[in-house]
Structure 1
Amino acid sequence: MQRMANSTSRRCALELGLLLLSGGFYLSSSAPEDARVTYLPGFNGTFPSDHYAGYVTVDEDHGRKLFYYFVVSERNPSKDPVVLWLNGGPGCSSFDGFVYEHGPFNFQSGVASGSLPQLHLNPYSWSKFSNIIYLDSPAGVGMSYSTDQSDYNTGDLKTASDSHTFLLKWFREYPEFLENPFYIAGESYAGVYVPTLASEVVQGIKSGMTPTLNFKGYMVGNGVTDEAFDGDALVPFAYGMGLISTNLFQEVNTACKGSYWNPENEICETKLEKVDKALEDLNIYDILEPCYHRPEIRKVTLRHNKLPSSFRRLGETNRPLPVRKRIFGRSWPLRAPVREGHVPTWPELGSSVPCMDDEVATSWLNNEAVRSAMHAQPVSVVGPWELCTGNIYFQHDAGSMIKYHKNLTYGGYRALIFSGDHDMCVPYTGSQAWTRSLGYQVLDEWRPWYFDKQVAGYTQGYEHNLTFLTIKGSGHTVPEYKPREALAFYARWLAGGSI
């Protein structure tokens, strides 16, 4: 793609490009050269594709700016889909996805104490098959910020509106990608972010907002959806995984009458407390992975474990580098579905994300040379980067996502609902239940799907372009735990083929 040297010529070309586009013609223009990322501290080598990063102002009056990092496809940028990636929380940065999941690099801890992590190319980056935008949203999260502190009191609907404004302005800056198929993807609380934003995008298209986005569909991984389905998912999951006894399951099922998310009597609450007690020392994000609580437990586990290596590694992430360690912490709370009203962030609960060590991302993203290279504001302006922030006060004000999913899929947009089957935070049992509850005809009966001639999980396809998919042995953040399988289903689904 031709790059223009000065802002005046870029602006003129952009205006001409949009003018011709509105008349039915497409003129290839250029991405903003001042957003290009030419190097990153810790990486020695040549980027396999172009990288861009910077801020888009979504509210001029309040000075509200959202930060993005854009990785151009390594395959065919002019034809490959553009995918917007969102991490959840609420309050968690999408650099979680960039650093630990499907970004262009694998991060290796610095050799010396205090040294920067070393970056190596990630063979399972989602940029192998797509152009991908990592967006920190809402303002106050990650590198995004506002000059008006009142903006940090936000919620589902305001976040969706701001993200839609971001997209319209971003595509004006990158008009050469307007004809590419566009998808929205995310995980965890992005189970709310994704469908609400998708709905905003569809409404914008219907109302004639320009530029017109070539929106095709969305994907949600282990996503928050509906308080009843999410809240009722844990007990059946725990029983099916052999984490609670048959007696306890029968007792809690009888006392709660099959509804666990909103206890209506004291006996039900007492039985649920027994369930919580049985599960409290597990890693909520992957029940197969350790969650250490005392240093001596870790020492004994590592020194005296006599299990075969294949058993010891069961459930561990198989990314090429050990990017994130599991550390001390209680996986609490276990059975609190997201309900209308204020949603506390992890810092508000008095802790960081349990069982997780995000030292690599934190040290790298708080380095001023790194921030300068990616055109992010320094720590003195926006504060230190945190995986999940307590800066925002967030309201869940969009209600159940089921109505959003129905409207979007009835509207002809493709949807992939995928779920790591060993996640206890948003268990697959809830996602499977709500997708079935839509009442759509099953077109592809429940069956295994394969990677490298092995069963990688199970899938069921419905009418209205809805697909449900599990990933065998994966935790909450699927591309982190199963990067090869994640890239496989991602590429297959984007291509429109059978998973």
Structure 2
Amino acid sequence: MLLANLLRRRCCSSLPLLLGSVVVLWFCSSLHVAAAGSKVEYLPGVQPEGPLPFELETGYIGVGKLEDIQLFYYFVKSESNPNIDPIVLWISGGPGCSSFVAMTEELGPLLFDVPKNNWSLPTLSLNPYSWTKVASFIFLELPVGAGFSYAKSSKNYTATDVETSYHAAEFIRKWLEDHIQYQSNSFYVGGDSYSGITVPMVVQAISDGIDAKFKPLVNLKGYLIGNGVTFKDVNYGDTFRTARGLGLMSIEQYTSAEACKGTDCVDEFGPLFTGEHYYWPNVIGEENDAERFRGYNVHAFDRHLIFKAALIASRWMNHDNVLEALHVRKGCGEKWAKCRIPLHYERTVHDSRPYHANLSTKGYRSLIYSGNADVFVNSFSTERWTKSLNYSVIDDWRPWLINNRIVGYTRTFSNNMTYVKILGSDHIAPTITPADCFIMFKRWISHEQF
């Protein structure tokens, strides 16, 4: 019964909750309520001006008790063949970071330009390495409180890891009910950073719904995670080993750090590779930042954008013309923030490896990728836990190449899990090495060999 209730989230709520919902909804604008699938043809500031060169829709879908949780999403159709191309449900990390970040700073069709000043509306240009060139993406604002997602009953609604996973599972079933033309498309779930916890749990919740024969059935094929948090405990040895390998610590400092135990190590040595001393890897290869975009007016690796991204995006997202274009409900939820801090959220799962192990028994494909210059969610730790699942290696450690250039290393396990290391990349790999990450995704989603 508990599982059925979690999956369906159709239970009736108490009268106080119902009355609270009515009171909150009274403040929401009834004139600008977006139905699921509201088309967005223009966005202020997008260059070149005119209709968007890709198909975008936004909307809210209610989940949970009395559909109290209103989840906002951005759906970008594949620029290739959306009728048959895979669909990826993308969930940003945090928890509480907006999926709009992935859509405009990482792997989506738009990228913010370097602002000309601090008072005009920021502009955006097309991303030549958007993953939407080969797949459709649903960028979901999850959990409740992230981006424009909100709870009708209370702005202080506190979700948990488990509840959030079932919110996502219910969301995708309802989304497919509204988009019956995509019910046969291959379906994947993706995310990065804290979504290393969230994504396998969401996949498990969707799989549970399939086993329970909930309709519509999701054509679930697998999932992908970038530099994902996998367990609560940090291996500080791997952290300092990565920092030493990047030249951020001297041999003397590294020797002292190895002898250090617990969180005091980070307090003592962490400032060596955080803040203003943070390491930004050089992009591997002969292309410089401008040339690698082949004339496009985008600067994905501009340091100014990386450090000021939250401020730039907030100025754009909270502009009245942008809110109207995106069909955001007025008076509902909070002002948009790149990452909701603090977020009312309870972390109840501290190790996602059991979910990976269980999903492997069901034959789902998975791509686990990691930038080698990520100090904290480092590639050493990711290599270690993928190997700890104890599946045999069917394609052992070897370089993967683009245009005869080594851009990383990879291995594939017998449980359909592929691990990929990306050289010269960092925590949010598609931001730092967009061309390499696009090729990586394209090969994996198309079942091509690395």
* TM-score, length-scaled by structure 2: 0.84
SS of the residue 1:66 aligns to: strand
- Percent of paired sites with the same residue: 32
Displacement of 1:445 in angstroms is: 1.4
Question: CA deviation digits over 1:52-97, x for unaligned, max 9?
Answer: 1111111353632000000001101111000011110111111110
Equivalent in 127, 135, 138 of residue 133 of structure 1: 138
The answer for the alignment partner of 1:453 in structure 2 is 404
Q: CA RMSD in A?
A: 2.8
1:484–1:320 CA distance, 2 compared to 1 (3 A): farther
The whole-number CA distance in structure 1 between the counterparts of 2:407 and 2:336 is 35
Q: Contact 2:166–2:202 (CA<8 Å) still a contact in 1?
A: yes
1:62–1:153 CA distance, 2 compared to 1 (3 A): same
1:232–1:405 CA distance, 2 compared to 1 (3 A): farther
The whole-number CA distance in structure 2 between the counterparts of 1:227 and 1:412 is 26
The whole-number CA distance in structure 1 between the counterparts of 2:274 and 2:246 is 15
The answer for the alignment partner of 1:39 in structure 2 is 42
Aligned positions of 1:239-278 closer than 5 A: 239-254=244-259, 256=261, 262=262, 269=264, 273-278=267-272
The whole-number CA distance in structure 1 between the counterparts of 2:428 and 2:169 is 25
Question: CA deviation digits over 1:333-366, x for unaligned, max 9?
Answer: xxxxxxxxxxxxxxxxxxxxx9454232112111
**What is the one-letter code of the residue matched to 2:272?**
A
Q: Contact 1:168–1:211 (CA<8 Å) still a contact in 2?
A: yes
Q: Does 1:321 align with 2:298?
A: yes
Displacement of 1:132 in angstroms is: 0.5
Question: CA deviation digits over 1:108-160, x for unaligned, max 9?
Answer: 24545422222322211111000101011111111111122266312211111
1:33–1:381 CA distance, 2 compared to 1 (3 A): closer
1:483–1:158 CA distance, 2 compared to 1 (3 A): same
Q: Contact 2:113–2:297 (CA<8 Å) still a contact in 1?
A: no
Equivalent in 324, 344, 361 of residue 372 of structure 1: 324
The answer for the alignment partner of 2:182 in structure 1 is 177
The whole-number CA distance in structure 1 between the counterparts of 2:353 and 2:252 is 33
Aligned positions of 1:104-119 closer than 5 A: 104-111=109-116, 113-119=118-124
The answer for the alignment partner of 2:173 in structure 1 is 168
**What is the one-letter code of the residue matched to 1:420?**
G
The whole-number CA distance in structure 1 between the counterparts of 2:62 and 2:232 is 33
The whole-number CA distance in structure 1 between the counterparts of 2:148 and 2:98 is 8
1:155–1:175 CA distance, 2 compared to 1 (3 A): same
Q: Contact 1:48–1:74 (CA<8 Å) still a contact in 2?
A: no
The answer for the alignment partner of 2:217 in structure 1 is 212
The answer for the alignment partner of 1:288 in structure 2 is 281
Displacement of 1:184 in angstroms is: 0.5
The whole-number CA distance in structure 1 between the counterparts of 2:332 and 2:80 is 37
Displacement of 1:277 in angstroms is: 4.1
* TM-score, length-scaled by structure 1: 0.76
Q: Contact 1:141–1:391 (CA<8 Å) still a contact in 2?
A: no
**What is the one-letter code of the residue matched to 1:363?**
R
Equivalent in 103, 109, 123 of residue 98 of structure 1: 103
The answer for the alignment partner of 2:60 in structure 1 is 55
Displacement of 1:391 in angstroms is: 5.0
The whole-number CA distance in structure 1 between the counterparts of 2:206 and 2:403 is 37
Question: CA deviation digits over 1:402-453, x for unaligned, max 9?
Answer: 1111111221001111011111231111111111111111111111111132
Q: Contact 1:224–1:230 (CA<8 Å) still a contact in 2?
A: no
1:161–1:230 CA distance, 2 compared to 1 (3 A): farther
1:34–1:414 CA distance, 2 compared to 1 (3 A): closer
Aligned positions of 1:472-483 closer than 5 A: 472-483=423-434
Question: CA deviation digits over 1:248-305, x for unaligned, max 9?
Answer: 433443454xxxxx46xxxxx4x55442243344565x5438xxxxxxxxxxxxxxxx
The whole-number CA distance in structure 1 between the counterparts of 2:326 and 2:336 is 14
The answer for the alignment partner of 1:3 in structure 2 is none
The whole-number CA distance in structure 1 between the counterparts of 2:36 and 2:59 is 11
Q: Contact 2:127–2:298 (CA<8 Å) still a contact in 1?
A: no
